[in-house]
Chains A and B, each alone.
Chain A
Amino acid sequence: MNQFIGSRALPDLVYHRPGTMDDLLGLVKGIEGEYRVVAGCTDFIPAIRGGKWRFADGINVVDIRGVKALSGIREEKGEIVMGAATRLSDILVSPVIREKAPVLADAVSQMASPQVRNTATVGGNLCMASPAADTAPPLLVLDAKVAWRTADGEETTPLNKFFLGPGATVLPPRSVLTEIRFPAPGPDEAARRTRMGQRTAFVCSIISVAVWLRGGPEKIEAARIAMGAVAPTPILITAAESVLIGKKPNEATLAEAAKTAASNIAPIDDLRATADYRKSLAETLTRRLLAACVGDLA
């Protein structure tokens, strides 16, 4: 039981700052005792201060910001590739993202505060596996994959399969998330996202929604809808896709898709919002985003 309600001291840390990928992977492979990989510390420090995380003295902190290869955004072979330690603010100003995936920049622009965005990373946001992780819904609708490495090899999985629950991912022990990649959207695709918080800025989302459509004003060929903060993990809601695919995107179709999406989530009541409100928002926001995407396609 937490007796002390004040701000907790950080434990004694063993601080590691490897400079290369090989050093990093070798270090993580051989490290003894408890360790944490950190990229921005914007979740690590508050979690300790608030008593959510408790570590014994001697916890190893592996700071991956020294590994240059883990940062940066590039386009290769029709895919956009982001290093896991790419800062959120770098996503915001990236010409590639702004041109090819403005939906991601839009999501990032509303995350936390400018100072946090100048520190936190996209990989950190995903690895923390918060149900409300705001980079997740746009990346999910962009069909992103994530890659991680261990000293022994590399694996890739769709982001959709990455999250296991609040704070839990499929990342195996002694691995490091390295990349997030997604296909560069084509001209017949449109993606939009939005979120709601209890205030406009500097706040955790009570729901975030992203939608993606391919097709034209006459027919939707493919669709994806993803949400955050409505389930134990950020999720793709595939149930609504069939409502849209092959249809003409009129008001009724979009409304039905939104309704289907909202009825396929199981949000909880918490301090920030009730389940009912989240469901209500899920429908409203999805419908509005779909309509906006249809507008973009036209």
Chain B
Amino acid sequence: MKHDPKASHCQCGGKMSRRGFITALGVGAAGVAATGAMTARTATAKETPMIPSGEMARIDLTVNDRAHTLLVEPRWTLLHVLRESLGMTGTKAGCERGECGACTVLIDDIPRYACLTLAMEVQGRRIVTLEGLMEGEKLGPVQEAFLEEDAFQCGYCTPGQIVAAEGLLRADPNPSSETITRAMSGNLCRCGTYPHIHNAIQSAAGKRR
């Protein structure tokens, strides 16, 4: 999936409930000031490579082809920003320390753990989450394959599995069986759905071709 330069520019996060309230910039500085946040700086500008403690920084990033401008605290992880600022709960929190894979997202097409990624680091980067693999209301090819092969049980690790599989197929459209197994070794599934996941990825590779 290519980044669409005409992608809509969203400034208000996913929804205006508790999630998405604190950091949404869209309504203007008033909304931000109300939360007690101080000056916003941009992390891109060469002259300010530093974001002081306790202050919020402005970052620009693209999530699922949609550009966002957000205020983040430097200690926030990408996982926190996705789930809490943007209200995108498709990406799951498992261990919060890079040991389970539930929070796998693509950063510039590469699978990484959102729990081990500081939000500041993804300034200007292109993030893809499970939600971003949808084609409108239709499932994307990897999702379709997971559905057909029944490649999930409880569904909790599934977003991470599907995104890891998508990342694999973007890098290697024709992975060998061994490659699939190795590529998926960073995503634990306690339901033990591995054989069906493996089948789904093989089938997805065919669908994407």
Contact = CB atoms under 8 A, between A and B. Distances in A.
Interface of A: 7, 9-19, 23, 27, 40-42, 45-46, 49-50, 57-59, 61, 63, 65-66, 89, 109, 112-116, 118-119, 201-202
Nearest to A17: B49
Contacts of A17: 43, 49-50, 120-121
A50 B96 CA distance: 10
Interface of B: 43, 46, 49-54, 57, 73-75, 77, 95-99, 101, 104, 110-113, 115-118, 120-121, 164, 168, 182-183, 185-188
Best-buried of A7, A13, A15, A45 by chain B (most CB within 10 Å): A15
Contact of B50 (A15, A46, A112, A118): A15
A127 B99 CA distance: 21
Contact of B53 (A12, A63, A89): A12
27 contacts: A7-B95, A9-B75, A12-B54, A13-B53, A13-B118, A14-B51, A14-B52, A14-B53, A15-B50, A19-B46, A27-B50, A41-B118, A45-B77, A61-B74, A63-B118, A63-B121, A66-B49, A109-B182, A112-B186, A113-B98, A113-B187, A114-B185, A115-B104, A115-B116, A116-B186, A118-B110, A201-B185
A115 B98 contact: yes
B15 to A, nearest CB: 24
Contacts of B113: 42, 115-116, 119
Nearest to A50: B97
Contacts of A113: 98, 101, 185-187
A58 B185 CA distance: 36
Contact of A63 (B52, B75, B120, B188): B120
A112 B49 CA distance: 30
Nearest to B115: A45
